[in-house]
A = this chain, B = another copy of it.
Amino acid sequence: MSALRETFINELRRIDSLSQISSVLGWDEQVNLPSSEASSSQRSSQSSALAEMVHREFTGSAFSDLLKRLEDETDEPDKDLEIILREVRRDLHRAQKLPNEFVARKAAHESSTYHVWKNAREKNDFAAFAPALDKTMQFAREEAAYGGYGENPYDYHLDKHDPGMDACAIGKLFDDLQIGLVLLAEQILSLSEETAIPELKGFPKDKQETFLREVVESLGFDFTRGRMDVAVHPFCSGNGSDTRLTTRYDSDNPLDSLFSAIHEAGHGLYEQGLPHKWLGTPLGEAAGMGVHESQSRIWENQVGRSPAFWNRWEPRFREIFREPLADISSEQLFLAINKVSRNPIRVDADEVTYNLHVILRFELEQALFAGDLKVEDLPSAWSEKAEKLLGLQPTNDSEGVLQDVHWSGGAFGYFPSYCLGNLLAAQLWEKAMKEDVPDPSDSSKLLSWLQLKVHRHGKRMNLLELTENATGDSLGPRCLLQYLESRYLSLYRKTN
């Protein structure tokens, strides 16, 4: 590597080190921060001072000059370096296009908007949130105008989370999925509503932790390079050198903590599987939100809710929780694990109806950006779509339009990644099962396969390219529909 290339990579890594600190601060805020107002306000000052520094370092002339000198270098081409440069340029152009005063103005608005949303949600009062959300929408349009987009300002936000995707492509995928999924979900729901599914109650929290640590470790999560703690909203943060998962415990809902932990561990396995030698560069970073979500979902759902997985883990689960499981048969337990029900809340939804929640939000975001829907009309539009897609109507705003935090932080274009991840997860699973990984009970083989097909590539390919490359097929709804049908329809038909 030329001296100039080395200097560039080192500088890139130095800036990445600084931005990784944000992730430590964010984790600490969720897991450890004392409760006083003084503590949280200090943390907020620290985070914003750091974010501003990182932005300044990245967009400053020193780094841009280095990039330019490297681009002018006439050495023989290097494929790895080309990809790093492509991604750095993409991020840099995006960052440089936003004026500092706009970034500061937007950040100030968003930090106050979070509290407006929180209060409005507590009071079930969308009208109290609408003016702030309307302003957030204006910021989102303004940002897209600065950043540039093809046909639709919404595209700018979608591309932020999943490079290469736009509203038109996602719309087509979701339309195709919707046709089959609404029907399939109705079939499964009508069967499940006739099925007695037990509730799991009285599972001591410390024993839950024992069990799920065993599970997470057995999936291949490396605790010498990571940890697991408790947070109100489960998440995974950090990178492969220090991967931090969180979950939460409810003694009357052991499956929530377990599947939250497996989900976050899936994100963690991806981070730990990214090529260590490229850490701190785009080749050591996740390909995008959709791909990341495919990795959490495949472990949570395709693996974690499978008969093979529970054949292996049920004896240990019963050994640890002898009493609360005493009157619950294996069949009943498996039904509880694969319970499907009509639920207005996305984060509590099963994997059959989950994607319909996402499609609902995508369609609303699309209409907002197209100017076909006003912010003030969101609640009625929400109800209408919920009726159509989920067969229910929220009884109040907190069960509907106010349920998610995303919009309060201006994170438009984020929801679709959840569903794109589910599509990819189903395709990877089918491919792995059919061809490469014949024994579905051995998760170490699946992990090696995912490392080979997904993890080791970093940002080399985007979601669509990676899907083609790993599965030999383009991203589409077939596999997900077949997977849901074969797992759920047959389960509930057998039971009824």
Contact = CB atoms under 8 A, between A and B. Distances in A.
How many chain A residues sit at the interface, stated as a range, is 35 or more
Interface string A215-228: 00000001111110
Main secondary structure of the interface of A (DSSP, over half): helix
Contacts of A36: 222, 224-225, 241
A241 B28 contact: no
Interface in A7-47: 13-14, 17-18, 20-21, 24-25, 28, 32-36, 38-39, 41-43, 45-46
Interface string A278-308: 0100000000000000000000000000000
A173 to B, nearest CB: 37
A404 interface: no
29 contacts: A13-B45, A14-B45, A14-B49, A17-B42, A17-B45, A17-B50, A18-B50, A18-B53, A20-B42, A20-B46, A21-B25, A24-B28, A28-B28, A32-B227, A34-B223, A34-B224, A34-B225, A34-B242, A35-B224, A36-B225, A38-B241, A38-B242, A39-B224, A39-B225, A42-B239, A42-B241, A42-B242, A43-B242, A53-B53
Contacts of A227: 32, 34
Given A21-B50, A34-B242, A42-B279, 18 more contacts: A14-B45, A14-B49, A17-B42, A20-B42, A24-B24, A32-B227, A34-B225, A35-B224, A36-B224, A36-B241, A38-B225, A38-B240, A38-B242, A39-B224, A39-B225, A39-B241, A39-B242, A43-B242
A276 interface: yes
Contacts of A24: 24-25, 28, 46
Interface of A: 13-14, 17-18, 20-21, 24-25, 28, 32-36, 38-39, 41-43, 45-46, 49-50, 53, 57, 222-227, 239-242, 276, 279
Contacts of A17: 42, 45-46, 49-50
* Copy total for this chain: 2
Contacts of A41: 241
A470 B221 CA distance: 56
A226 B39 CA distance: 8
A56 to B, nearest CB: 10
Given A39-B242, A241-B39, A46 B34 contact: no
Contacts of A25: 21, 24
A18 B240 contact: no
Contacts of A13: 45
B49 A276 contact: no
A57 B43 CA distance: 19
A462 to B, nearest CB: 27
A46 B18 contact: yes
A57 B45 CA distance: 16
Contacts of A33: 242
A223 B276 CA distance: 39
A242 B223 CA distance: 28
Contacts of A20: 42, 46
A223 B38 CA distance: 12
A159 to B, nearest CB: 29
Nearest to A39: B242
A450 to B, nearest CB: 20
A49 B225 contact: no
Nearest to A242: B39
Contacts of A28: 24, 28
A241 to B, nearest CB: 4
Contacts of A240: 38
A279 B53 CA distance: 21
Nearest to A222: B36
Contacts of A43: 242
**7 closest A-B pairs by CB:** A42-B241, A38-B241, A36-B224, A17-B49, A36-B225, A39-B242, A17-B45
A13, A17, A57, A276: most-surrounded residue (chain B CB, <10 A): A17
Contacts of A226: 34
A13, A46, A50, A57: most-surrounded residue (chain B CB, <10 A): A46
